[in-house]
């Protein structure tokens, strides 16, 4: 996968997580409760683009953060240009 894309998606996830005042620990715990074997450390690596995301993880993160795919993939940029 393109490193720049991974970094952008990671930043978007971090922004969405922080917007609802959720810690990396809580996000990891909620993912674990839904069957996703992930740690807080893995969340940190995702947010800086050092770990790949699997499709099922993206779906669960979107649901837990109560956001949409546009926010995950494009951040506010795409929404602002609509």
Task: Give the pLDDT confidence of 22-38 residue by residue, as tens digits.
Answer: 999 999 999 999 999 99
> What's the predicted TM-score (pTM) here?
0.89
Contact present, 11 and 75 (Cβ < 8 Å): yes
Q: pLDDT band for 82, please (50, 70, 90 cuts).
A: very low
- Six token digits for residue 79: 């929404």
Q: Single out the residue of 55, 64, 65 nearest to residue 18, CA to CA.
A: 65
**Average pLDDT of the segment spanning 32-54:** 97
**Is the per-residue pLDDT at 80 higher than 90?**
no
The reported pLDDT for the residue numbered 81 is: 41
Number of domains in the chain: 1
What is the extent of the structural domain holding 33?
3-80
- Residue 75: CATH number of its domain: 1.10.260.40
**Average pLDDT of the segment spanning 62-82:** 81
């Amino acid at each position: 996968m393109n490193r720049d894309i991974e970094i952008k998606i990671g930043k978007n996830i971090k922004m969405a997580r922080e917007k609802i005042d959720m810690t990396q620990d809580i996000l990891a715990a909620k993912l674990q409760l839904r069957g996703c074997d992930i740690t807080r450390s893995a969340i940190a690596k995702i947010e800086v683009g050092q770990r790949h995301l699997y499709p099922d993880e993206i779906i669960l993160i979107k649901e837990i953060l109560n956001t949409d795919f546009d926010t995950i993939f494009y951040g506010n940029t795409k929404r602002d240009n609509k």
